[in-house]
Amino acid sequence: QKEVEQDPGPLSVPEGAIVSLNCTYSNSAFQYFMWYRQYSRKGPELLMYTYSSGNKEDGRFTAQVDKSSKYISLFIRDSQPSDSATYLCAMGKGGATNKLIFGTGTLLAVQP
């Protein structure tokens, strides 16, 4: 079993839709959680960073962490064609090395 599971998609939605992206994990030691956006043939770009359980909002993006269920989500409101990309979840345990474990990524296509 992988430490982090992420539905690879592809996920196709119409412009303006609410998008829900999810990851599950098995290691309860993970303390901080991130979402990255990666456009084709580019490096990942950090979108959201959350520490422990709860919600965090930044513009059209909301990140949720439910540590009791080992489940994290990224919601995108009023989705735009420019949101079309691969979304990677990542999580870490903290400590000296700051090693991250990544999900496989979900490919999102927002249709105009």
Please report, as ranges, the residues that interact with another protein according to CB under 8 A: 4, 6, 8, 32, 34, 36, 41-46, 49, 88, 90, 92, 94-100, 102-105
106: number of Cβ within 10 Å: 21
Nearer to another protein, 62 or 104 (CB): 104
**Min CB(94)–another protein separation in Å:** 7
If 0-12 CB within 10 Å is exposed, 13-18 middle and 19+ buried, where does residue 6 land? buried
Nearer to another protein, 1 or 41 (CB): 41
Nearer to another protein, 17 or 56 (CB): 56
If 0-12 CB within 10 Å is exposed, 13-18 middle and 19+ buried, where does residue 95 land? exposed
